[in-house]
Homo-oligomer: A and B are copies of this chain.
Amino acid sequence: MRKEQSSNAINEQFLFQVCALNSAISVISGRWKSQLVYSIYQGNNRFHLLSKALPNIAEQVLARQLKELEAQQILLKKIIPGTTPAGIVYELTLKGRELVPLLQGLCNWSNKFAAGAPVPVPAYQAGAGG
């Protein structure tokens, strides 16, 4: 549970006020979270599909992270009628869908500068070999 008056929580709130960037980061920064968003985007829109796509995640953790993403309005749950036990489909909201290209941007950025990747050279240096 949150302490609300801890320095930690106060600093978090402070950052939220400084720039919405920090709220965005806090939304996507939990373990599994952005990967879940991306997995759902790819069509793994059921609990067991996500479980299969990310074999290391415990079901309890999966449930918790999904719940948080729902609270943050990144996704929503829809009950599939006439199934037993009732199945649930996870769908990205507009907010969630618009997050995806940003995540892809981060992915590309990370790949570009990964260890072992060819060193990126600024344009004005490229070919300036002597």
Taking Cβ atoms with an 8 Å cutoff, the residues of A that contact B are: 8, 10-12, 14-15, 18-25, 27-29, 31-32, 34-35, 38, 54, 56-57, 73, 94-95, 98-99, 102-107, 109-114, 120, 122
Q: Which residues of B contact A120 (CB under 8 A)?
A: 94
Other than A11-B32, A25-B29, A94-B113, give 17 A-B pairs with Cβ distance below 8 A.
A8-B31, A11-B31, A15-B32, A15-B35, A18-B35, A19-B38, A20-B110, A21-B107, A21-B110, A24-B106, A24-B109, A25-B106, A27-B110, A29-B29, A94-B122, A98-B113, A102-B105
| Interface SS of chain A | helix
* Copy count, this protein chain: 2
A-B contact pairs, 26 of them (CB 8 A): A11-B31, A12-B31, A18-B35, A18-B54, A19-B38, A20-B107, A21-B35, A21-B38, A21-B106, A22-B35, A23-B110, A24-B107, A24-B109, A24-B110, A25-B28, A25-B29, A28-B29, A28-B106, A73-B113, A94-B113, A94-B120, A95-B109, A99-B109, A102-B105, A102-B106, A102-B109
Q: Which 8 A-B pairs have the closest CB atoms?
A: A29-B29, A20-B110, A24-B110, A24-B106, A21-B107, A95-B113, A20-B111, A23-B110
